[in-house]
């Protein structure tokens, strides 16, 4: 409460009720997903048929559990592979962008900064489609001119990585720029005065300063990539990542194995969130 401002008791109660309702609204769909992952029924629906762990450990179809579902496990592997690459590439690009926009003054800087923000206002589907169109056209052109097919320009993991890097780089850049602005350049100058080469000064003074931010930006980009759907949908080849595989099953109508996948995703996301928050706390301390 802002202590000096009166608020009548019924009004206060009403407000608290609203907050409670809001929290229930947030948690409800997730709780439902968790609950039905233990339901001993072939459909994620009522009635409740009793508790089971089959949707995690079941070995036989139709009660094939997550840990024995080869297709789902494979798609998790695909997603992790893509997310890892996206994280590495986006972080490297973002670090360059941060240094560029914080350390240097140059003509057209404001304009380039706005261009850097562009991916945030391009719908993910359009981003995916535009990359699909241009890479395919380029590949077609090369094939016609040199009779050589550049396979990675066709829909597949590489294109997905490129499509996701296009917008995740912007998000990482914003995070790193905000942190780098707080860096006192005299620290690096001190290192230079003490005889360090610019490269050594950067690695021993600036990078440690940025380390916690790099870790949390990395976690965010990994998750964003892992969970991306819109851009990925347009660029997917034969090796579908998890979100696409789940989407296809959802449309066909699936067993509660999708619930158990979701629960695993929740656990991993929560774990990564905790790691990221701890790192941010360290940074503030």
Partner 1 sequence: MRRLGIGFYLLLCPFALWLLLLIILPHLNMLEVSLNLRSYTTPKSYTFQNYLNFFEQPLYWNTFVRTAWMSILATLLTLLIAFPMAYYIAKLAKGRSKTLLLMACILPFWLSELVRTYGWMIILRESGLLSGLLRYFGIIENNIEFLYNDASIMLGLVYTAMLFMIVPLVSALESLDDSHIEAGYDLGGSHWNVLREIVIPHAMPGIVSGCIIVFMLSLGNYLTPNLIGGKDSLWFTEQIFTQFITRFNWEQGSAFGILLLLLSSLIVYLGLLLSGQTLSKTMGK
Please, what is the minimum distance in Å from the beta carbon of residue 131 to partner 1? 5
- Using CB under 8 A, which of the segments 65-73, 140-148, 204-212, 264-272 binds partner 1? 264-272
Fill in the per-residue mask, 8 to 47: x = in contact with partner 1 (CB under 8 A), - = not in contact: -------x--xx--xx-xxxxxxxxx--x------xxxxx
Q: Which of residues 218-237 bind partner 1 (CB under 8 A)?
A: 223, 226-227, 229-230, 233-234
**What's the rounded Cα separation, in Å, for the pair 49 and 256?**
13
Is residue 169 involved in binding partner 1 (CB under 8 A)? yes
Q: What is the DSSP string of 192-256?
A: HHTT--HHHHIIIIIHHHHHHHHHHHHHHHHHHHHH--HHHHHH--SS--HHHHHHHHHHH---T
CB within 8 A of 233, min separation 6: which ones? 125, 128, 244, 247
Is residue 172 involved in binding partner 1 (CB under 8 A)? no
Please, what is the minimum distance in Å from the beta carbon of residue 248 to partner 1? 11
Please, what is the minimum distance in Å from the beta carbon of residue 145 to partner 1? 16
Cβ proximity to partner 1: between 59 and 267 the closer is 267
Q: For residue 183, what is the DSSP state? A: S
Of the candidate residues 78, 87, 97, 212, the single one contacting partner 1 (CB under 8 A)? 97
Give the 3-state secondary structure of residue 22.
Answer: helix
Q: Which of residues 59-88 bind partner 1 (CB under 8 A)?
A: none
Please, what is the minimum distance in Å from the beta carbon of residue 189 to partner 1? 14
Of the candidate residues 52, 140, 269, 280, the single one contacting partner 1 (CB under 8 A)? 269
- Using CB under 8 A, which of the segments 54-62, 143-151, 170-178, 205-213 binds partner 1? 170-178
The site that binds partner 1 (CB under 8 A) totals a number of residues, namely 89
**What's the rounded Cα separation, in Å, for the pair 163 and 63?**
36
Beta carbons of 157 and 82 less than 8 angstroms apart? yes
Give the 3-state secondary structure of residue 154.
Answer: coil
Is residue 119 involved in binding partner 1 (CB under 8 A)? yes
Is residue 240 involved in binding partner 1 (CB under 8 A)? no
Tell me the two tokens of residue 163: 């499509």
Cβ proximity to partner 1: between 60 and 253 the closer is 253
- Using CB under 8 A, which of the segments 54-62, 186-194, 210-218, 268-276 binds partner 1? 268-276
Q: What is the DSSP string of 28-89?
A: HHHHHHHHHTTB-SSSSSSSP--B--HHHH-EETTEE-GGG-HHHHHHHHHHHHHHHHHHHH
Beta carbons of 62 and 144 less than 8 angstroms apart? no
């Amino acid at each position: 409460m802002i202590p000096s401002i009166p608020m009548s008791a019924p009004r206060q109660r009403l407000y608290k009720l609203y907050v409670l309702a809001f929290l229930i609204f947030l948690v409800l769909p997730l709780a439902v997903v968790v609950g039905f992952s233990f339901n001993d029924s072939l459909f994620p629906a009522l009635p409740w048929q009793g508790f089971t762990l089959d949707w995690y450990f079941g070995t036989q179809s139709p009660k094939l559990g997550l840990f024995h579902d080869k297709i789902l496990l494979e798609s998790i592997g695909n997603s992790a592979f893509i997310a890892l690459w996206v994280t590495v590439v986006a972080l490297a690009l973002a670090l360059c962008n941060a240094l560029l926009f914080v350390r240097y003054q140059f003509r057209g800087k404001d304009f380039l900064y706005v261009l850097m923000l562009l991916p945030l206002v391009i719908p993910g589907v359009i981003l995916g489609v535009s990359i699909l169109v241009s890479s395919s056209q380029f590949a077609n052109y090369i094939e016609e001119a040199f009779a050589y097919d550049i396979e990675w320009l066709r829909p597949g993991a590489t294109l997905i990585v490129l499509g996701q890097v296009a917008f995740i780089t912007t998000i990482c850049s914003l995070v790193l720029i905000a942190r780098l602005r707080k860096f006192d350049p005299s620290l690096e100058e001190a290192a230079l005065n003490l005889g360090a080469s610019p490269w050594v000064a950067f690695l021993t003074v600036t990078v440690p300063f940025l380390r916690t931010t790099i870790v949390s930006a990395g976690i965010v980009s990994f998750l964003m990539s892992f969970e991306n759907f819109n851009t990925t949908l347009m660029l997917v080849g034969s090796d579908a990542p998890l979100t696409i595989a789940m989407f296809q099953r959802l449309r066909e109508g699936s067993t509660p194995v999708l619930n158990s996948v979701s629960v695993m995703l929740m656990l991993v996301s929560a774990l990564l969130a905790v790691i990221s928050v701890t790192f941010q706390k360290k940074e503030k301390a």
